């Protein structure tokens, strides 16, 4: 019927047409190609959005750092924020430990029959 292979013919005929209107490429081939193109587009836009977001976050972080420095210079606190953070973290670790210990209690005698008079 046609002398050229179907893939070439389909590509040439689909040039300059609306996206997804392919005459000679049949069924799944066209479908797969269309999907691939669409997902590429989506991926590119998503990457762009991600880049913008990252840039925005970084600039915001810089602004935050500058604000923190200003506040530190404005109010020389007796306890430095780093020490406060360390103190809080140790307290957090202790709190977590305590919670874990409490949770583990019920399992030591789980195989015994339930005793009501405790």
Work out the pLDDT band at 30, boundaries 50, 70, 90: confident
Quote the CA–CA distance of 97 and 90 in Å, as a whole number.
Answer: 11
pLDDT digits (tens, 9 = 90+) for 69-99: 777 666 655 556 667 777 777 777 676 666 5
Alpha-carbon radius of gyration of the chain: 32
Angle at 39 between CA 33 and CA 45, to 5 degrees: 140
Q: How many CA atoms lie within 13 A of 76 on its CB side?
A: 0
Specify the pLDDT at position 105.
56
């Amino acid at each position: 019927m046609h002398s050229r292979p179907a893939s070439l013919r389909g590509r040439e005929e689909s040039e300059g047409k609306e996206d997804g209107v392919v005459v000679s490429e049949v069924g799944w081939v066209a479908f797969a190609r269309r999907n691939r193109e669409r997902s590429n587009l989506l991926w590119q836009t998503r990457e762009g959005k991600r880049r913008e977001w990252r840039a925005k976050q970084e600039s915001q972080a810089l602004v935050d750092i500058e604000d923190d420095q200003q506040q530190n210079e404005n109010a020389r606190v007796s306890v430095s924020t780093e020490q406060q953070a360390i103190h809080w973290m140790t307290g957090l670790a202790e709190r977590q430990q305590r919670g874990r210990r409490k949770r583990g209690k019920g399992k030591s005698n789980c195989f015994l029959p339930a005793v009501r008079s405790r």
